[in-house]
Structures are given as structure tokens and as C-alpha cells.
Amino acid sequence: MAKNIKLSDLGKTVSQDVKASSALQYKAYAFDVFREVIIKTPVKTGRARANWTITTHSPSFKTSDKTTPSQVPTDIDLNNFPTVWIANGLDYIGDLERGKSKFQAPMGISLPALAAVRSRRR
């Protein structure tokens, strides 16, 4: 639906529209990387996949014994473009990032996940 905008408010309106659109793209990008990291995580027991977290402002390294990933949280406020943290607190996640799982993730997890998302968004 079209908006009626006074010419004098055009710059402000365009700026608000661009910011809102950019915020949605920022959120979609962050969640896309989060999902891809989970997908690219090797599975033996499922704990590594289940312990990825996405937060803003500071990382969360909390862990659990879950073996199924949680749903992507929808309550994260990304409107002001805060730093987004994707983290995993398991003690062996560093080994997986360095390619210890030779058959499932020989190149690690995060960089291949980011590369996959970037290639889809070109």
C-alpha cells in the first residue's frame, strides 16, 4: 500500500525505509549463517550441533546435554545493528573448527558456513 508523504519529509522517510529494510536483511543474514553453522557441524552424538547459540552484544558459551538443536530464536533485536555472536561452549568445538572431523568437516565449520551463505547471497 502506498504512503502519502510530504515532499519535505521525503529524505527522512527514505532513510527510515532503508534502515528498516537493512535491519531485515541484517537479521536474515545473521540467522542464515547461524543455520548454516548448525548444518555444517559434524554429528556423532548431536551435542555439537545442539550447543550453538546466537546472541547480541556478547557471546554465550553455555552448554547442555541436548542432542537436538533449538529453534532459531526470534526475539533477538537486531534493529540497531548490534554485534551478533554465534558461539559454542563445548570443549571440543575448537578441534572440529580445526578440521578434526576429516570426513564430515575437514575445513572446519564457521568459515565454510559463512562462505556458503555468501555464495547464495551474490
Per-residue pLDDT tens digits for 66-97: 999 887 777 788 777 888 999 999 999 999 99
- The span from the CA of 67 to the CA of 65, in Å, is 6
For 12-34, the pLDDT digits (tens) are 767 777 777 788 888 888 999 99
The pLDDT of 59-67, averaged and rounded, is 94
Q: What is the pLDDT of residue 104?
A: 85
* Residue ranges of E strands in the chain: 52-56, 84-88
CA proximity to 52, closest of 83, 105, 62, 117: 62
Give the mean pLDDT of the chain. Answer: 86
Q: Are 27 and 73 in contact (CB under 8 A)?
A: no
